[in-house]
Amino acid sequence: QRILRLAEMCRKLETEEEKVLPFYPSSLAEEELQVARRVLEETPVEPLARTMQDYVGLERFWQRFNKAKLEEKVLEQVQEALANRNQHLRKLLQQYLEGYTVSQEVLREPHPL
C-alpha cells in the first residue's frame, strides 16, 4: 500500500508526455494480446497465481521501473559513446597542436626549410 501511495504522489510530478504515453508500445501481435487479456481475466486456480492477483496493482510500478532501467542503460551507452568521441577529438586536437607548434618553431629559425 505504501508503494501505491508513493506512485500516486509521483503521478503528480510526471511530465505531460509521460501521462499521455507512459510506456513503450507492446511488441505483441494482436492475437497474443487477446490471449494475454483472456488469461488475465480468468480466475486463477493455483495458489501462487491467486497470491499474484493481490499484486496486480503493482504492475504499473514494475512497468515504470523497467522503463527507467531501460532508459538508464541507454544513457550509459550514450555516455560511453560520447566519452569515446571526446577522447578521439582530444587526440586529433593534440596532433593538430603538435604540428602547429613545430611549424611555428621552424619558422622562427634564421634559415627555415
Task: List Cβ neighbours of 44 (8 Å cut-off, separation of 6 or more).
Answer: 50, 52, 53
Compute the distance between CA of residue 80 and CA of residue 99 in angstroms, rounded to an integer. Answer: 29
For residue 74, the model assigns a pLDDT of: 94
Task: List Cβ neighbours of 60 (8 Å cut-off, separation of 6 or more).
Answer: 7
For residue 31, the model assigns a pLDDT of: 85
By the 8 A CB rule, do 85 and 79 touch? no
Average pLDDT rounded to a whole number, residues 27-49:
77
Map out the domains of the chain as residue ranges: 27-108
Is the confidence at residue 109, as pLDDT, over 80? Answer: no
Compute the distance between CA of residue 54 and CA of residue 97 in angstroms, rounded to an integer. Answer: 66
What average pLDDT does the chain have? 78
Model pLDDT for residues 60-91, shown as the tens digit of each residue: 777 778 888 989 999 999 999 999 999 999 99
By the 8 A CB rule, do 67 and 24 touch? yes
**pTM given for the model:** 0.49
Compute the distance between CA of residue 70 and CA of residue 49 in angstroms, rounded to an integer. Answer: 27
By the 8 A CB rule, do 64 and 18 touch? no
For residue 85, the model assigns a pLDDT of: 97
Q: What are the cell numbers at 57? A: 496493482
